[in-house]
């Protein structure tokens, strides 16, 4: 799907430019766009290095683990079908904590492990269980505490206050996570009514 959208943007732009007489601008845009992207990535290095460095300390000091213990009661309410001491619970918690702190690369393998355990709980079937759908819904709602990359981009384009969006992002993310859980519950009860 991305392939189509990406090619569509460029092709339509070029054809439109041809008929609109804006070929000169299009030509310039190709090289300016590429240069802009590289400049931006270099700007991102500073914040990414700093943040992932801090997160490594949080990880090695056991701070992330402590946080996930804190969230355990909440996660038990969200996943009523997962037994408390099942390994799935641990993976779900670590995945959520990693996502919260913007550690996408650490979150994905943990999420896959969580899915494997949930599949075992579901008797190894190749259809999605209730807990799996819930886990996906929460992941797509992406609970974020520090939107690192966004802050870096805002810094790069001279925002007067790059971090002013932190609290609004947290509020929006909590609303969307609650929304995800409620929608998931609604679909679950609709399914179970049908039998």
Q: Give residues 92-151 in contact with other proteins (rule: CB under 8 A).
A: 105, 108, 111-112, 115-116, 119, 126-128, 132-133, 135-137, 139-142, 144, 146-147, 149-150
Closest to other proteins by CB, 50 vs 72, is 50
DSSP 33: H
User: Which residue has 């799996």 as its token pair?
Assistant: 132
Kindly state the smallest distance separating residue 158's Cβ from other proteins, in Å. 7
Compute the CA torsion angle 68, 71, 73, 75 (nearest 10 deg).
-90
Binder among 57, 192, 193, 195 for other proteins (CB under 8 A)? 57
Q: How many of the other CB atoms lie within 10 Å of CB of 98?
A: 22
**53 is a contact residue toward other proteins (CB under 8 A):** yes
Closest to other proteins by CB, 49 vs 70, is 49
- Are 136 and 117 spatial neighbours (Cβ–Cβ below 8 Å)? no
Distance between CA atoms of residues 55 and 105, nearest Å: 12
**70 is a contact residue toward other proteins (CB under 8 A):** no
Binder among 69, 88, 165, 189 for other proteins (CB under 8 A)? 165
**75 is a contact residue toward other proteins (CB under 8 A):** no
Distance between CA atoms of residues 139 and 172, nearest Å: 15
Binder among 65, 75, 86, 162 for other proteins (CB under 8 A)? 162
- The pair phi, psi for residue 190, each rounded to 5°, is -65, -45
């Amino acid at each position: 799907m991305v392939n189509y959208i990406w090619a569509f943007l460029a092709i339509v732009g070029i054809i439109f430019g041809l008929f609109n007489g804006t070929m000169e601008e299009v030509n310039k845009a190709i090289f300016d766009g590429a240069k802009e992207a590289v400049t931006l990535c270099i700007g991102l290095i500073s914040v990414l290095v700093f943040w992932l460095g801090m997160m490594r300390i949080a990880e090695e000091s056991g701070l992330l683990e402590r946080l996930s213990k804190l969230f355990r009661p909440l996660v038990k309410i969200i996943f009523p079908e997962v037994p408390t001491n099942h390994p799935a619970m641990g993976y779900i918690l670590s995945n959520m904590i990693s996502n919260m702190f913007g550690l996408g690369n650490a979150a994905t393998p943990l999420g896959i492990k969580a899915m494997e355990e949930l599949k075992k709980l579901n008797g190894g079937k190749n259809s999605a269980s209730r807990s799996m759908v819930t886990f996906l819904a929460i992941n797509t709602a992406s609970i974020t505490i520090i939107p690192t990359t966004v802050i870096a981009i805002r810094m790069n384009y001279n925002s007067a206050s790059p971090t002013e969006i932190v609290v609004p992002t947290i509020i929006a993310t909590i609303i969307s996570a609650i929304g995800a859980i409620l929608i998931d519950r609604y679909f679950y009860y609709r399914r179970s009514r049908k039998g």
